[in-house]
A and B are shown apart, each in its own frame.
Chain A
């Protein structure tokens, strides 16, 4: 045990610790760590902010690169392919991301969609699940039974056939294309007016009725089937159609091209030829690629993917532009306030008080009404964001200036003859840099949110499709509504997902920056 009396330790027990040489301060082996380097190091350590940054980068890539790979343009619209479902590839697995919806429809509709495949081979029904008979009792006691068919209906091919008006040249080119590639686009015309009993198109405007249907009674709209259960075609015969290309199987014109009772492939009108085409193949002929909307299309047939990318890009650019302008204005304003203090500060603070009391909505509306005609919607929006946006930056800068302007090093610099401008820019301002960057980063999501909210509510309206400006809020507002939500949920899900991701990532990023630039938090993250 230790039983030495510490009050009376004998002298010989003591010993010099360092006999050789003098004792110097040890030179530091480590490198000095600057403010920015320290901040970067702590930022990188923060997992959440890295996640945020990665999402931002991915969204940036999506916004700027996705449109390059897409076959569509933002200004491209197609009335026929409106509200089609997302389809991952031209040959998808049925049931997942296949551009189709599961429908349960009656006999007439089922045969209608089956007829599309029967005639041209384009599968409208990709999968058949089964049928069931339902009886419904009306209020007057009459029981009606109908058969419902459940199947997967492809939203791209369900269009089937369309009547198109072509000029003589277009008609010739299309025939040439058919002859060269062997792909059939043009199909025979049908009988529209009654020539025999019951041999008339059910709906003259719908090119898909190439078969005989019941025109009246309980089976109205359903096909008349022959003894083999096949459709009975009602193609139109004879007449001049200037057609010299692939003919449909069963066309008597195949055996005898000169025959007067061959099918008719076009109707000649004043402007040229009216033909019946399989729209899917016609689209391929016109554009050179198959229709494919990876995220579906909206009500005017714009590609949602391209719209989203374009909307994200718009959000990015607007938010970044606003953030930079606000940063500059706020920094200058706050620096003057903070540095000079006193009366200058008081007057400038009162201006800030008034401005910060103005609800953003009022500013946005008034600016939109006043400035739109001079600088356009985007310009008015930019002004609205800038009017009150810089206040946050200004107040943080002002605070930093109050904190640092009385410090000794500033006094020293002043004694050495530094002017006000030099003191502000060189000596005090760098201290405020971290907070400025942070407030700018946290300002970006609020701009994105406000912009999408304004355009969602229709307060800010961008010009028509041709301008190419797409906002995420506009996409959201186009997708809302009960029927859209039930039938076309992709219209709202994808835009809201993108907005949510944008907001989350920028907030994570901004919070990470804030923590990294706050030296008080050093060592507390563990």
Chain B
């Protein structure tokens, strides 16, 4: 019951935060002058009429009310004005989302096993040369931003060795081998950082657990080192590692703006950058909301999952 109350409380708080952030964002955008519409005479007239109908010339607070009303009643985020003329923002976002999700999902599927294994290996071999090598590499890989990998991958594997196409080919289905193949450079560039992060985290957690008293007990009662590590240490370390992975899954949807722009993947990040460049406020608003929601949601899930996984942690109990 504590738990339920706590979850509801956190959820409401997150929703309130989202509401405040979006309202502020909306007001700040509406304070800017309306962007000039480009296009044919008819199109300009159409946009002008639509703006009038949607209350663009009302006072800002009235507009804010209309904005929330439209969203809450029909999940209507408006139409593209500068880009994707006449199409709804939600439909375009829905179109772009698969590309982002697939690329990030693939990279996560590659990273999780590798990161976990490296982390476990480093923790088991703590303070030996294997650990030092892995830790040093992790330090380097975690610091270097993903676009630097992207350039090196693009330069070495695509331009010099000609193994992969320079840009992603996203015309087919997302499960087609040819297309997945063309996405490999992007997946790789994303994976380096994730692997390094996961390795460091796993190593830190596991090596802390490995020094616990119950590990000594497990060894004393006759388990081999391997058995003790897998059955006792790893399980307990997972309590902390699993929420992190969960958070990663949540944030794959937000994707990477830079990687998408470098490999020209038509995902949501590219859309966001384009909407900023071309001053399409409806798109900007909707994707900002999307990112904010994902960020808040990931945080919420990470926090809550501790309580669900680990019975020792009782959320909201006094």
Residue positions of A touching B, CB distance < 8 A: 48, 353-354, 357-359, 361-362, 365-366, 369-370, 445, 449, 452-453, 456-459, 476, 480, 482, 485-486, 489, 492-493, 496, 499-500, 503-504, 506-508, 511, 526
Contact = CB atoms under 8 A, between A and B. Distances in A.
Contacts of B315: none
Interface of B: 13-14, 17-18, 20-21, 25, 28-29, 31-32, 127, 136, 139-140, 142-145, 147-148, 151-152, 154-155, 158-159, 166-167, 257-258, 261-262, 272-273, 276-277, 284, 288, 291-292, 295-296, 299
Q: Which 9 A-B residue pairings sit nearest by Cβ, starting from the closest?
A: A507-B143, A504-B143, A496-B148, A503-B143, A500-B144, A482-B166, A357-B17, A359-B291, A485-B159
A362 B142 contact: no
B292 A366 contact: no
Contacts of B291: 359, 361-362
Given A365-B284, A453-B257, A508-B139, 5 more contacts: A361-B257, A370-B28, A485-B166, A492-B151, A500-B145
B145 A507 contact: no
Contacts of A370: 28, 31-32
B139 A496 contact: no
Contacts of B28: 366, 370
B82 to A, nearest CB: 14
Given A362-B25, A457-B261, A357 B292 contact: yes
Given A361-B257, A504-B140, A452 B145 contact: yes
Nearest to A486: B159
Nearest to A473: B147
Given A476-B147, A496-B152, A453 B167 contact: no
Given A354-B21, A366-B28, A499-B148, A485 B154 contact: yes
Contacts of B296: 357
B143 A445 contact: yes
A201 B257 CA distance: 50
B273 A480 contact: no
B40 to A, nearest CB: 27
A427 B207 CA distance: 36
16 contacts: A354-B21, A357-B292, A357-B299, A362-B25, A365-B276, A365-B284, A453-B258, A456-B147, A457-B257, A480-B151, A485-B166, A500-B143, A507-B143, A508-B139, A508-B143, A511-B139
A267 B257 CA distance: 55
A357 B22 CA distance: 11
**Interface majority SS (helix, strand, loop, mixed), chain A:** helix
A503 B31 contact: no
A85 to B, nearest CB: 15
A504 B144 contact: yes
A455 to B, nearest CB: 11
Given A354-B21, A357-B295, A361-B272, A492 B288 contact: no
A458 B277 contact: yes
Contacts of B17: 353-354, 357
Give the interface centre of A365, A459, A476, A508 by most chain B CB atoms within 10 Å: A365
A362 B147 contact: no
Nearest to A510: B143
Contacts of A508: 139, 143
A378 B299 CA distance: 31
A359 to B, nearest CB: 5
A491 to B, nearest CB: 10
Contact of A457 (B18, B140, B273): B273
A366 B31 CA distance: 10
Contacts of A357: 14, 17-18, 21, 292, 295-296, 299
Contacts of A496: 147-148, 151-152
Nearest to A497: B148
Contact of B292 (A362, A485, A511): A362
Contact of B32 (A359, A369, A452): A369
B145 A493 contact: no
Nearest to B158: A485
Contacts of B257: 361, 453, 457
A359 B142 contact: no
Nearest to A362: B288
B211 to A, nearest CB: 11
A500 B167 CA distance: 23
Contacts of A457: 257-258, 261, 273
